[in-house]
Amino acid sequence: MAEKISFEPPRGMRDFYPEDMVWRNKIFDAFRASAESYGFEPYDACVVESYELLARKAGEEVGEQIYHFLDKSERHLALRAEMTPTLARMVAQRQKELAFPLKWTTIAQCFRYERMTKGRKREHYQWNLDIIGEDSTLAEAEVIGAACDALKRMGLTSNDFKVHVSSRKFLGELLAKSGIAPEKHAQVFLALDKRGKMPDSEIAAMLRDGGLTDADVEATFKIMDTKSYEECPELVELFAIAGEAGFADCLVFDIAVIRGLSYYTGVVFECFDTAGEFRAIFGGGRYDNLLTTIGGEPTSAVGLGFGDVVVSELLKARLGDSAKERKGVAVGFMFPGERDVAVKLAAMLRASGERVDLALKPLKPKKFFSRADSIEAAKAIFVGPDDVEKGVVKIKNLETREESELCI
Ligand code: HAM
């Protein structure tokens, strides 16, 4: 006898049953509508990349999480953990032909061998918005504004979420002022990003490992108490633009936002639910050196990644467990003799733009109406012998239970 295979997907991977697709579509529809409304152009790429492009600097968590393998020709390949290196590669490939600034968007499935916690899977879909080739802070404002717009399209308000913004450049200046040399900053950023996820004593140890003295460590923690961004021109400008654009109520300054990826160079941001129940909803920032790191021409860039996992948990918690809404018409018939009338009726309704679920064989009324309910149809038409004779069918509204008539 064949060995029984588990019906579960591999750990951390997800199946999407139709009821899950309702949520996914709601989220993706909002992503696409906001990207379109903010003038981003869609692009896509293959899920498999060369490992060389994705391999990371030591200390970056995402580097340890990469799914990688050798193909049959011994090429070292990997599943993308994020879209940004692929985007950089695509831009570098056509850097001479492209008209900058580019505003590109995609919804990319990404794979990370993560420790499984709430909001973290080993596969997720990530909406990306990137503006390549623009120094102006308006670029940061546009990507953050579009992401807030998407959350609002999903039914959330600025009471439900806040985008925490800071600047690595600003933090770097504060560290330099305290006498911490710039070559130590990358290590400091990686350590500080762990704040809240591990005790400060362990962070202090990481900072000392990175070459900081006890006095440096003390100065670093003091910097983390900074409450004002007035000394940071980019942040002053970002808050001012957000005021004009109407999303200033979604932003808060938070020096503790560092980001775990080392390629960020300027403004960085991360969005959280206000109640602090969930992991980050989206995150991003300015990354002006990534193109040069992979061998392209120096190009400024800013962007964000917005996963589907946390936001779907948040939507279910805030908006209730069901995203389903009744839609379309269920059409059924009692005996084989009414089949052709039902088929014609379905064709007519479909031609007028209705979504029609046509019963595939004769059904007893009880069975037909119970199926119409279970597929969440808004209306139902059940064709019986009398209806065919009279040339009139009844349309039942399944929400109000009201009936109207339609000539056939
Ligand atoms: P990230 O912060 O690593 O940034 O990921 C962005 C978002 O993707 C997170 O805030 C979260 O919503 C989602 N996400 C990440 N990992 C997982 C996971 N294991 N399970 C569920 N959701 C996850 C980046 O990836 C950058 N490349 C974003 C970016 C684009 N920066 C500039 N352009």
CB 327 within 8 A of CB 377: yes
Task: Based on the fold, state whether residues 71 and 144 are members of the same structural domain.
Answer: yes
Q: Which atom of ligand 1 is nearest to the CA of 84?
A: 27
Task: Print the SS3 string covering 248-305.
Answer: HHHEEECCCCCCCCCCCCCEEEEEEECCCCCCCCEEEEECCCHHHHCCCCCCCEEEEE
Q: Which atom of ligand 1 is nearest to the CA of 87?
A: 33
Task: Based on the fold, state whether residues 22 and 71 are members of the same structural domain.
Answer: yes
Q: Among 150, 90, 142, 125, which residue's Cα sits nearest to residue 302? A: 142
Task: Based on the fold, state whether residues 257 and 301 are members of the same structural domain.
Answer: yes
Q: What is the CATH classification number for the domain harbouring 125?
A: 3.30.930.10
> Which residue's C-alpha comes closest to atom 13 of ligand 1?
307
pLDDT at 321: 67
CB-ligand 1 contact for 85 (6 Å cutoff): no
Secondary structure tally for the chain: helices H, strands E: 15, 16
124 CA distance to ligand 1 middle (Å): 9
> Which residue's C-alpha comes closest to atom 12 of ligand 1?
307
261 CA distance to ligand 1 middle (Å): 10
CB-ligand 1 contact for 114 (6 Å cutoff): yes
Q: What percent of the chain has pLDDT over 70?
A: 98
DSSP state of 183: G
Does residue 208 fall inside a structural domain? yes
120 CA distance to ligand 1 middle (Å): 10
pLDDT at 60: 79
Evaluate the omega torsion of the peptide bond into residue 101 and state whether it is cis, within 30 degrees of 0.
yes
Does residue 7 fall inside a structural domain? no
**Where is the domain boundary, 299, 321, 343?**
321
Tens digit of each residue's pLDDT (9 = 90 or more) over 20-38: 999 999 999 999 999 999 9
| CA–CA gap between residue 196 and residue 187 (Å, rounded) | 17
Task: Based on the fold, state whether residues 281 and 378 are members of the same structural domain.
Answer: no
Average pLDDT of each block of 10 consecutive residues along the chain (408 residues)? 87 94 96 98 97 81 92 97 96 95 98 92 98 98 98 96 97 94 89 88 92 92 94 97 98 94 94 96 96 90 98 92 82 97 97 98 97 96 93 95 93
Q: To the nearest whole number, what is the mean pLDDT of the chain?
A: 94
One-letter amino acid of 79: L
CB 99 within 8 A of CB 119: no
Question: Could you give the count of Cα atoms lying within 13 Å of 124 in the half-sphere of its Cβ?
Answer: 26
Tens digit of each residue's pLDDT (9 = 90 or more) over 297-351: 899 999 999 999 999 999 999 887 666 789 999 999 999 999 999 999 999 999 9
Task: Based on the fold, state whether residues 124 and 263 are members of the same structural domain.
Answer: yes
Task: Based on the fold, state whether residues 260 and 353 are members of the same structural domain.
Answer: no
- What is the extent of the structural domain holding 125? 18-321
294 CA distance to ligand 1 middle (Å): 20
DSSP state of 122: S
CB-ligand 1 contact for 112 (6 Å cutoff): yes
Task: Based on the fold, state whether residues 76 and 58 are members of the same structural domain.
Answer: yes
> Which residue's C-alpha comes closest to atom 32 of ligand 1?
303
* Predicted model pTM: 0.93
